[in-house]
Amino acid sequence: MIKHWVIVGASGGIGLALVKTLLAQGHHVSAISRQEAHTSIANMPDGALSWYKLSSAEQPEAANIFSAIFATEVDAVILCQGWLHGGGMLPEKNLRQLSRAALTQSLEINLINPSLYLQCMLPFLQKQAGVKVALLSAKVGSITDNQLGGWYSYRMAKAALNMLVKCASIELARVNKTASLISLHPGTTATELSAPFQKNVPSGQLQTATDTALRLINVMNTLTQEQTGCLINWDGHKLPY
């Protein structure tokens, strides 16, 4: 059965791989991105892909876009926003390296943007039976698992994102007991986000964007209501907050 997926952040490395993989599997995809549709997917069959250019859930047209998307039953939503480095800023090795600029940028993209998208979608998610929602997080955002320190702005933003998911999952469950909402760790993927650090990844642990997309789709397909509010690894196992 063809399913309807919503991918937010659809032009990024993992987001675009999810769109391509889902389309190849015969699903319908509603994609949201700051960018126009990538040329590699611009000529999909009519009805398979709906691409919406949107910079922020705060834009006036956001409500109308989500109304159009959710006019057709939605089965799954994945929010793929993330920022680790850029503009001369790299993950901090110690507290002395922390800057207002990096912290602000990390919070804006890793936390604030997905928070506002989730807020915008919540009225629609309340009415979608069995809908499954995931926000891409990171294992390094786990407070319990942190044994190395460093990467302050990224770790803090992702830890806060996990709290967003926990709170929102409780609120969503009050009005839609069939819904599932999780934080999802995609694993280390060969994208621009991880590019400066790939040489340090142990052999066999760096995945292509396509492999990661397949793993995340499998997690979503097997997601249960008992997992709602949790941080879930790419292999489906629960990670500590």
Query: What pLDDT is stored for residue 155 in this prediction?
Result: 95
Token reading at 91: 């993950």
Predicted confidence at residue 98, as pLDDT, reads 94
**pLDDT at res. 46:** 60
- Element (DSSP H or E) covering residue 22: helix 13-24
pLDDT along the chain (241 residues), means of 10: 91 93 95 86 73 95 96 97 87 94 96 97 96 96 93 96 98 97 90 57 73 96 96 95 88
Cα–Cα distance list, 218 to 79, 178, 208, 213 (Å): 16, 19, 16, 9
Tell me what pLDDT residue 174 has: 97
pLDDT of residue 42: 62
Indicate the number of domains in the chain. 1
Query: 186: domain CATH number?
Result: 3.40.50.720
Q: What are the structure tokens assigned to 20, written together? A: 């391509």
pLDDT value, residue 88 = 82
**pTM for the full predicted model:** 0.92
Contact status, residue 182 vs residue 169, Cβ threshold 8 Å: yes
Range of the domain at 149: 4-239
pLDDT for residue 43: 63
Which pLDDT value is given to residue 190?
Answer: 73
Nearest Cα residue to 82 out of 134, 133, 42, 39: 134
Q: How far apart are CA 84 and CA 110, in angstroms?
A: 9
